[in-house]
Amino acid sequence: IARFVVIFPQLCVLICIIYATAKASQNTLASIAEGFSPDPQKFLDLKVWVTAALQVFSFIP
């Protein structure tokens, strides 16, 4: 049970990060496909999410 309590929040955070990264990537790819320059804010969001994901992975033993 203790292991589940430790792993479950990390799993939730990881799912949120994957969802947000996929959403940001999809928006950026859609912008490029439509011929518009990608929104720098979306790239910033993606960079922030990837950094957060790496930090989460470093905490998982």
Please indicate, yes or no, if residue 1 is contained in any of the structural domains.
no
Please indicate, yes or no, if residue 49 is contained in any of the structural domains.
yes
d(CA 23, CA 16): 10
Please indicate, yes or no, if residue 41 is contained in any of the structural domains.
yes
* Domain containing residue 55: 6-59
Counted domains in the chain: 1
Please indicate, yes or no, if residue 55 is contained in any of the structural domains.
yes
Please indicate, yes or no, if residue 39 is contained in any of the structural domains.
yes
d(CA 45, CA 49): 6
Global pTM?
0.41
| Contact call for residues 43 and 8 (beta carbons, < 8 A) | no
- State both tokens at 10: 């990390």
Please indicate, yes or no, if residue 11 is contained in any of the structural domains.
yes
Give the tens place of pLDDT for each residue, 30-61: 665 655 555 566 656 667 777 777 777 776 65
The per-residue b/e assignment along 8-17, b for 16 or more CB within 10 angstroms, e otherwise, is eeeeeebeeb
Mean pLDDT within 15-41 = 66
